[in-house]
Structure 1
Amino acid sequence: MSVAVVTDSTAYLPADLAQRHHLTVVPLTVLVDGVERREGLDLTPTEVARALTVRRSAVSTSRPAPEQFAETYRRLLGTGSSGVVSVHLSAGLSGTVAAAELAARQTGPDRVAVVDSGSTGMGLGFPALAAATVAAGGGDLAEVSAAATAAAARTRTFFYVDTLEHLRRGGRITAASALLGTALAVKPILHVQDGHIVLRDKVRTAARALAKLVDLACLAAGDASRVDVAVHHLDDPDRAAALCAELTSRLGDRLQDVHVAQIGAVVTAHAGPGLLSVVVHRRAGS
C-alpha cells in the first residue's frame, strides 16, 4: 500500500479536502480554565475568542502526547501503509514536531518521517496536501517527505491581528514587537519567517490591513505561473470573501485553487480575535 500522510489540527484544512486526500489529522489540545478540550472536536474558535475577551479565562494550548502519535503510526502501519510521513506546525511555535519525532523513533525511524512545515494554518496544509498527492501517485517514503519539504519552501503565510497582546502573552512574539504594534494604534501585519512569527509591516486601519495582505500575497506569488491561495478568518466570512475577491482579481489566471477556512481554536488562543490571514503556495515547476 501507499505511504500514509499525517498532519495536525492546526493545518485548518477544509474537512472535505482532508478526507479526499486521505489525511490523518491528530488534534492539539486547548485548555480553558484548566479543562482540556481537543481542537476541532470539543471546542470551537468562537468559544476560545469569547473566553479570551468576555470571560477573561485562562487559555493555553498543548501538543499531542508522543504516545498519541505513536498509536496513530502503529495503526496506519498495521493496516497496510508502507510508511508514514507526518507533517506538522513549526517547531518554533509548538512542541508538536518534537513529540512526533519521539514517536517516530519509538515506532521505527525507517518507516516514519517527520517534516517541520515551518508554519501553521494552510502554511502547514499545503505541504501536507503536496505529500498526500505524491503518496497517492505511489511515491516512497523519501519522495513523499521531500514533496512536503519542497512545498513548505514554496509557501508564505501573512496575517493581521487586532492586537499583538495575545501573541506576546503566549511568547510567540517579543515584547518589543508588541510595543511596536500598539504604538500610535497601528495595526500589525505579521508573517511566518524561519518558523517564527515576525512583525512584517504596520498600517493605520483595518481596511488598509486587508489591502496590505493582498499586496504581500501578490509579492509572494512572484512570477510563478500557478499559485494556490488560502484565506483564514475568525467569524468574519464577509471580510474573508472581500480578500478572496481582491486576490482573484489581482492574480488572474495564475490562481489555481482558493481555500477559505475558519481559523481554529489553537491559533485563536494565541492570536486572539480579529485575525485575517492569507497563505500563498507557488506550485512546483511554475
Structure 2
Amino acid sequence: MKKIILTTESGADLPEDLAVKHDVQVVPMHIIMDEKDYEDGSLPVQEIYDYYDRTKKIPSTTSTNSHEYQEFFTKINKDFPNCTIIHIGYTSKASSSFQHAVLASEEFENLFLIDALNVTGGLTAIVMYAVSLLEQEPTIEPARLVEIIKAIVPKSKLAFVPGSLEFLRAGGRVSNVAYLGGALLKIKPRIELIDGHLVSNKKYRGKMSVVSEKLMRDYFNQYNIDRDQLYLIYSIGLDDGIKQRAEEIAREHGFQKIQWMQAGAMISTHSGPGGFGIAGLEV
C-alpha cells in the first residue's frame, strides 16, 4: 500500500508541532514588504505590525505559484517514493494559489487536490480531520479518503473578528467613512467563510473582551460543532484574559480538546493585531 502524504498551505496556520507530529507538508505563501518577497512563516508577524506603525502601509500578499508547487510536489515524491499526495488547499475564492496547484498537478499522476474553501482554523480543521482518518485507517484507499474529506469541507465553520478596522481600511477593505464610524462606535465586523468567500455578515459593538464572548455564543448557537475538537485563533496582541475566558466558554459548551492557533503572517496582514476567531466541524 502506498504511503499517503497530506499537504496544505501556510495560510492554514497549522501549528508547527502538529505539522511535524503528523508529517503534514506545508507549502508557503508569500508576503511582499518594501518590494522584498518573504515566504510566509519566515517573517515574524510582529515585523508586519512594526512596518505598519512606521509607514501606515500594510504589506501585500501573493499566492504560491505553479513553479513552487511543482518543486514542492517533486520534493515530496523524492522524499517518499511511490507515495500518494493529497493536497488540501486554501480557498480558491480568495486566492489563486489553488489554481496554481491545479496547473502544477498536470505533471503528477499520484496527486489529488481538494479545495477546502476555507482559511486559517477552518482549513486546519479539515486537515486535522484528514490526519485523524488516515491514522485510524492507514491502509485506506486514497480515492476513498479524498471522497470523505470532500464531504466534510462544507461542515468546516470559521468565524472571526479583526482586532481593529485599521488594517482593513489600510488594505482598502473598508472605506474611510465606514472606518471612522466603526472606530467611533467601537464596531467590529464578524467575518465568516461562506462557500469559500470571506463575508462580513454581522457587526458587534464594544471591547474585544465583550465581542469575543458574543462571537463564541453566537457561533455555538448557530452551529452544532463536533465536541471532539475546537480551534481558537488569535493574532498577536490579543489579551491573555480574553484567551482564558474563551477557554472557559468552550468548556462550558462541552469542549475538552481545545487547540489554540496563532494567525500567521498571511492572515495577520489582512486582519491586524488583536484579532480572535473560532473554527470547528459541524456534526
The TM tier, using the shorter chain, reads 0.7 to 0.9
Indicate whether 1:105 and 2:137 are aligned.
no
C-alpha deviations, 1:66-119, integer Å up to 9, x for none? 1221122223234224311111111111111111111111223xx211111111
C-alpha distance after superposition, 1:208-265 (max 9, x if no partner): 311212113312442x56342111112225122321221112x12xx25211021100
Q: Is the 8 A contact 1:161 1:274 kept in 2?
A: yes
Distance 1:134 1:80, change over 3 A: farther
**Is the Cα contact below 8 Å between 1:32 and 1:57 reproduced in 2?**
no
Residues 232 and 240, structure 1, Cα contact 8 Å, conserved in 2: no
1:174 Cα shift?
A: 6.7
Q: Which residue of 2 aligns with 1:49?
A: 49
SS of the residue 1:106 aligns to: coil
CA distance in 2, matches of 1:279, 1:269: 20
Any conservation in 2 of the 1:28–1:64 contact (CA below 8 Å)? Answer: yes
Q: CA deviation at 1:156?
A: 0.6
Partner Cα distance (2:141, 2:170) in 1: 42
Q: What is the CA RMSD across the aligned residues, in angstroms?
A: 2.5
Verify the 8 A CA contact 2:87 2:112 in the aligned structure 1.
Answer: yes
Alignment map for 1:43-122 (pairs within 5 Å): 43-78=43-78, 79-108=80-109, 111-122=110-121
Aligned equivalent of 2:20: 19
TM-score (ref. length: structure 2): 0.87
Number of aligned residue pairs? 275
Q: State yes or no: 1:141 paired with 2:142.
A: yes
Q: Matched residues in 1 for 2:150 and 2:169: separation?
A: 29
TM-score, length-normalised on structure 1? 0.86
1:208–1:58 distance in 2 versus 1, CA, 3 Å: closer
Q: Which residue matches 1:217? A: 219
Cα deviation code 1:117-162 (max 9, x no counterpart): 1111121111112223333422222222223323322211111113
Q: Structure 1, residues 168-188: CA drift from partner, whole Å, max 9, x if none?
A: 6546x5759956856844221
* Structure 2 unpaired stretches of 5+: none
Partner residue, 1:123: 122
Flag structure 1 segments of 5+ consecutive residues without an equivalent.
none
